[in-house]
Amino acid sequence: MPQGDKDAYTDKQKRKAQHIEESYEARGTPKAEAESRAWATVNKDDGGGKKSGAGRGKATDHPAAKRGGRAHKAGSPEQRSAAARKGWDTRRRKASA
């Protein structure tokens, strides 16, 4: 397959890349750069284009953008502060025991 040929991609992957590209362009990214980033994101999320043949498919429902992490902290600032104090007290108590 020649470089740049998108025939191996599913319609869903093509729509996904188009949506990502439009999002980048809306934020002021040049068109060529937006397209490049969009396809790079699709490749990272889905592992590239889909090939034909039995057992060659791969689920596309675990993109990097939705993987876990601790970016969003649960609770209000007061709750987080209370949890931090409780952890500090526990560590201090265990260190002296």
| pLDDT confidence band for 2 (50 / 70 / 90) | low
- The per-residue pLDDT for range 50-86, each reduced to its tens digit, is 766 666 666 666 566 665 655 556 778 888 889 899 9
| pLDDT confidence band for 10 (50 / 70 / 90) | confident
Cα angle for residues 88, 90, 95 (degrees, 5° grid): 95
pLDDT at 1: 45
SS3 18: helix
Helix (H) or strand (E) holding 24: helix 11-26
Query: How far is residue 42's CA from residue 8's CA, in Å, rounded to a whole number?
Result: 13
Lowest mean pLDDT among 4-18, 32-46, 52-66: 52-66
